[in-house]
Homo-oligomer: A and B are copies of this chain.
């Protein structure tokens, strides 16, 4: 049970984009370099984010991408689900299989379902903007300390 690195990379990219929002388009190469992420790999995640409508992009030289909305209007949940699909996927409920011949399975699926709801609730309450703000806090804290 862990979050994929895809989502971590995706979130880091979104933070980077949020920091430089308004500066026009930013290339995947640049984001990758700044965040130390394999470039060709990040490319794919950005494409996925674009398909999900969280990012807009333009091809060609001097192309790049930027946030599709304000950083405070994009939740962590959206980013995760754009990259990895549902936060918790269950064969029984999400997919069409629904092979609950055994009643006990259904009961357990309800627990997975409940987990899903709780997680989505939380992750949906955190925005990219929150992350950026929190990051500033951490940086300031470190500066004061040193």
Contacts and interface: CB of A to CB of B under 8 A. Distances in A.
A11 B3 CA distance: 23
A90 B131 CA distance: 18
A76 B105 CA distance: 14
Contact of A126 (B3, B89, B114): B114
B76 A12 contact: no
B1 A138 contact: no
Interface string A46-86: 00000000000000000000000000000010000000101
Contact of A103 (B3, B107, B135): B135
A114 B40 CA distance: 30
A-side binding surface: helix, strand, loop or mixed? helix
Nearest to A11: B108
Interface string A113-128: 0110011011100100
16 contacts: A1-B2, A1-B4, A1-B84, A1-B86, A1-B87, A2-B88, A3-B112, A12-B105, A15-B104, A35-B102, A103-B135, A103-B138, A114-B122, A114-B126, A118-B118, A118-B119
Interface of A: 1-4, 8, 11-12, 15-16, 35-36, 76, 84, 86-90, 102-108, 110-112, 114-115, 118-119, 121-123, 126, 131, 134-135, 138-139, 142
